[in-house]
Amino acid sequence: MLNMKEVNKNIDECVPFYSGSTAAAVKISFASIIKDELGELGNLGSLRVLVAGDKSMFAGVVPNGATFVSKEDVARGDLGFPDCSFDEVIIFNAIDEKTLLDGFMREVWRVLEDGGKMLFFAPSPISFWRMDKGTPLGSGLSFCPLKLWFRLARLRFTPLKVRRALLLPPRFYNSSWAAREAKYQFWLAPLAGAFAMLCEKRLIAMPPKVRARIFSPKVASSAGSATTAFSKP
């Protein structure tokens, strides 16, 4: 379970951030990624969208009809929605404990429509943003893109693309840069404070022989146990 005292402390530390110009610039960057990878907000408005985690970051970015779940909901391990309830899922700053990741992603798999898309925003482990505890990227879990790619693949998601974001340190980050940073994500990738991984819900488990060739025996074993939970009778 989450240490809610620590979670509330992290939330309080980030309150000034959301009222500043840097947060507005981050929203522009994230909104651009959502538009490019999931579609225009007009099209999203006709879809069922679930946002897990930081409502303050996405309240003005996703359609008004989007459903939000908090870290407390994630910690319970049961999102409380029927199977295949959502067409798109967006995740940011929702998980503070590594032990919660697999269980939460199984719930996301369950509530996501067959073939639905998930956009996972995550802090990079080494960046200027990670060192700044006054931003939401300074607390919670950080992820290595490659490790997250394979971990989500074991949980029956198909990673499709990785987008880099927040390519300048917080003190230099502004709306003008955020609107055009996609052009430089290849060249400035090592400086990225965050990345977004686009995934699709996979319906068919990876064949054991293929999985054995890709993963080590230890990882293949955990992959088998993860996919078994999703096998349909």
Which pLDDT tens digit goes with each residue over 66-85? 899 988 888 877 888 999 99
51 Cβ neighbours under 8 A, 6+ residues apart: 58, 62, 66, 67, 68, 69, 89, 90, 91, 92
Ranking 114-123, 164-173, 222-231 by mean pLDDT, the lowest is 222-231
Among residues 99, 48, 50, which one has the least CA distance to residue 77?
99
Compute the average pLDDT of residues 98-127. Answer: 90
Q: Across-strand partners of 69?
A: 52
pLDDT band at residue 230 under the 50/70/90 scheme: very low
Q: Sorting pLDDT into bands at 50, 70 and 90, what band is 93?
A: confident
Give Dmax (Cα) for the chain.
54
User: Cβ-count burial of 108 within 10 angstroms (0-12 exposed, 13-18 middle, 19+ buried)?
Assistant: buried
Q: What does pLDDT average to over the chain?
A: 80
Q: Which two tokens stand for residue 144?
A: 């290595």
Task: Please check the confidence at residue 209 and state whether its pLDDT lies above 70.
Answer: no
Mean pLDDT, range 88-102, rounded to an integer: 86
- 195 in Cβ contact with 163 (< 8 Å): yes
Question: What's the whole-model pTM score?
Answer: 0.80
pLDDT for res 220: 40
